[in-house]
Structure 1
């Protein structure tokens, strides 16, 4: 019988008789590629041709993008199976995970793997987003929080990019309700917070609380957190504590910034108001109250003595001297040592300083402020004013004034400031380009300045102003010192921009004329500005 490679034989056995037929089959992993499967012994010879069996393995496996392959190695034999899985960051979107080498080719179709990252995150109104950046990878999580003045009303804070889409539902943020009525608190103890805490309270808000404890007790108010817009007199936003059931009672304390000192009342009722202005808010406060026994009060102190909250008596001469003479700090409390209008009300020693109410901002109407200055009996008091700006005209000073009183007699009345410094009003700047600066630049500009410039460029062009440097006294609405650009020939034209603080961006008119006005108040100056202007085509 003919020996044929890669085959197995059936149907015949040695010795082979005339007419006996052997049947050849290709072994596993091989496929017939020519010749005869049956061979018959005729006249002492085998008829036909040798069966040709070729390997039916696969020369290479399919290359599929963004996949990882396991379970097979080259050379790839018949019936060998390769398992495909999508790479990290990708997901299956069709095709076959397994491919088998059969008859020299691979079964199935290519696995389709698509990126499971997310092209963009959900845009949700009135929220702030942290914790994620584009492009957004699989399993990356964005954290949403309601913006200041809003509070959560449902939905999810955390959204995760998964399989090319975002988990969860949109966070719903609703504007915080404005305080409408007084919150009534009572009992032995309790807690309260500013509206929306720890989110920011709203602008232009007024909220009130009334706390009542047992008649024989006083109220102790403690703070775990305080974040209210700061001001040296708490003149913007403030939590005011009144020592009684309404705001008609005396103030026990006025708080802003981060002051978390405890507050004690003298009675069993207290009224609190949180008031905010039209700009800048904080997270507010978290507070608790507790009913306590009132401190034991010693008999009334003698004339010329100060009665401490702990019952001690000390000389009025050492009150507000920076030392805790009482032993409980009550002789140095800010509310007891202020003039009633800002800065210390009692000044002793060889030197000191004080300011008017709200300085350097404008003082309030109907103010009545007092400062007591005491020096050695052998010395006289010399007053030096760094800045001075009051309403009125000397010598009468019938509107606002500062009286200096010695031993009960008025010895002087201080006059108002000199008239504003001039700069040429207005200064006409020629041509389609040029430059201008604040007065005395780069030195500090003067107080009470008023300077203006007019610029007219080629019709059809606009005026573009750029700053090489800019430094004016800063305020939220530029009410102190400011440079204002008007879109025309004078200050009656529409206002384009009012600048203060530090500003380096360019500003521009919509037409060929510009009017600029620089003003400074009676205190605090900076180096001012250096600017250029050019005529340019409108956008």
Structure 2
């Protein structure tokens, strides 16, 4: 793999790809850095995927106002932001919807960390992934243009245990008849073998949905080899502090195991059948004094 130690550069990549890292990695990065990498897909490829292999940046708050890595979907500083990251949790892989990604790394004048290392590669499809942020959006490939044929994309939307997810669709135009055998969107709770929420196609917006069983939604988009539609765009958010029932389960703070957000105030109500009692055991605890 090609490896770049420079503080920012422009990279043209194929499906073999390469890697780059923060300055001085794996030693602590210097203060007052402002580095920008632009990674473009080389034709015939039209999407770029980043996968972080190591990540350790100073983190004072969840807003990442001190040291941070921010990823933009495009090839310039005005491109939309996919996410801003700091701390020691490795970000999930990121795939562009456009043909390029920008990686901006900023450090302040104080504490440094080990930094980051990420691999990159180009591909011909862009869809799917693990969505763990508190709220966000996802859409069919090429949206708002027509999606390509012969696609299969899977998104997994995750909250923390004991909480719920809300899913809403802004636009929805998939080719297909009432049986949804051609192009369709399939939603399940938990994973690919979990209970089916619904199978959707056509031009009618699916109803807003709040997860019932757990804190994970599994969303699959499939297109066949023929006619395509304009596609879909969906938004999601986490719902904290809910009523919990059943014989056993787990509850976790918002965004666990990542840092919980500021100004949080949530209450969970646990209800069991009459004659039973509730026993709570804490498995992990890290709360500001």
TM-score band w.r.t. shorter chain:
0.3 to 0.5
Q: Which structure carries more relative contact order (alpha carbon 8 Å, separation 6+)?
A: 2
Question: What is the TM-score with the length of structure 2 in the denominator?
Answer: 0.48
Bigger Rg over Cα: 1
